[in-house]
Amino acid sequence: MLALDIQTTVGALDLDVQVRVGTGECLAVAGPSGAGKTTLLRIAAGLRDSDRGTVECGGEVWLDTSRGVSLAPERRRVGFLFQDYALFGNLSVWRNVAFGMEGVVRGQRRERAVALLDRFGMAARADARPGALSGGERQRVALARALARRPRALLLDEPLSALDSRTRAGATRELAALMGEAEVPALLVTHDFGEAALLADRVAVIDDGRVVQAGTPAELVGSPASAFVADFTGAVVLHGMARRGEGGLTGVDLDGGGRAVSTDTAEGRVAVSVHPWEIEIEPAGAAGSGSARNRLAATVSAVTPLGNRTRVALLAPQPLTAELSQAAADRLGLAAGVPVVAVWKATATRLVAL
């Protein structure tokens, strides 16, 4: 269990956040830039002071300003994944990983580091310098290094933002798998709700220094507490079982009913993500005439204007949202309770194995 209760001012921002992350759980703190996310992580790791607050991990008190307790970062046993990975350019890959190993005799350090690198498919690059690695490889080395210390908590700062979009899908899968096996609380911060929804069990949306809503990704998408949350929880995330379908496409039987089709390949449990602006809304009963392969019957549960756009929350076996122009929403006469069909293309559907 990692528990943070932080009150501090950062420039003009007044940060006041309480979060708890269970063992084996991943909590994503998601919000726009400048919301205080990274500050929260840095306070948890001891890299920054907090005006007031407590940080506790696994029964240990790391910070308690009321009692004047503040452990130095090197005494907190965290695995911190930096946004730019912060690999030591003066050390080879395996020495980067071995840097944090404690209580390992000198002769075994290399062997242990290479074994850990092997879990990430990086054993072959053990003697390379970090400068010679690609972005995705750097991330894997940085993860191996963070785990080498047997941390009591994982802290991840925008873990995917330094990767290009092609590397990102693979890295997301690896990271999700790692979080699944890690037996420590993991706290991740990101500005991308889609990323948070794919990696985390729960998401706390933070705005202007406060948690405005917390819950599972589906809860946040399905019943956003405010227009800010509705706007921020961009991507729709659905869960289901994928299997090879006809024409090289992957079919996904969605939990609770319904079916989605994607051009991505995957098998087994997957998360399906679609951007709300890719989803079109047709009146119930209209004959599908376009090229879109995904059609899901739903009922409008909420209509939230966001400037010239409208966010439409849809009730289906799993909640989803669509984004339309204000004019289109008016023309369709959308209001809570209206039955519709949500339509989107297989090419706009991303699959991530769980």
Under the binding rule (CB under 8 A), the answer on residue 83 touching other proteins is yes
Task: Give the residue among 181, 187, 176 at the shortest CA–CA distance from 43.
Answer: 187
Closer to other proteins at the Cβ: 142 or 271? 142
Under the binding rule (CB under 8 A), the answer on residue 193 touching other proteins is no
Considering only residues 251 to 290 of the shown chain, the ones binding other proteins according to CB under 8 A are none
Under the binding rule (CB under 8 A), the answer on residue 90 touching other proteins is yes
- Point out which span in 85-93, 203-211, 294-302, 341-349 binds other proteins (CB under 8 A): 85-93
Considering only residues 35 to 74 of the shown chain, the ones binding other proteins according to CB under 8 A are 42, 45-47, 72-74
Under the binding rule (CB under 8 A), the answer on residue 11 touching other proteins is no
3-state secondary structure of 53: strand
The CA distance from 161 to 75, in Å, is 28
Under the binding rule (CB under 8 A), the answer on residue 82 touching other proteins is yes
Closer to other proteins at the Cβ: 154 or 300? 154
Considering only residues 102 to 131 of the shown chain, the ones binding other proteins according to CB under 8 A are 102
Length of the chain: 354
Q: Which residue, chain included where needed, has tokens 């726009």?
A: 32
Indicate which single residue of 49, 51, 60, 84 sits in contact with other proteins (rule: CB under 8 A): 84
Residue type, 97: V
Residues near other proteins (CB under 8 A), total? 26
Indicate which single residue of 2, 55, 76, 172 sits in contact with other proteins (rule: CB under 8 A): 76
Beta partners for residue 344, in sequence order: 294
DSSP assignment string, 142-199? HHHHHHHT--SEEEEESTTTTS-HHHHHHHHHHHHHHHHH--S-EEEEES-HHHHHHH
Binding mask 133-172 for other proteins (x = CB under 8 A): ------------x--xx-----------------------
The CA distance from 212 to 134, in Å, is 37
Indicate which single residue of 1, 13, 86, 254 sits in contact with other proteins (rule: CB under 8 A): 86
Indicate which single residue of 22, 51, 88, 243 sits in contact with other proteins (rule: CB under 8 A): 88
DSSP assignment string, 268-329? EEEEEEE-GGG-EEEETTPPP-SS--EEEEEEEEEEEEETTEEEEEEESSS-EEEEEEHHHH
The CA distance from 207 to 231, in Å, is 12
**If you compute the radius of gyration of the chain from its CA atoms, what whole number of angstroms results?**
22
Smallest separation (angstroms) from other proteins to the CB of 39: 13
Residue ranges binding other proteins (CB under 8 A): 42, 45-47, 72-74, 76-80, 82-84, 86-90, 99-100, 102, 145, 148-149
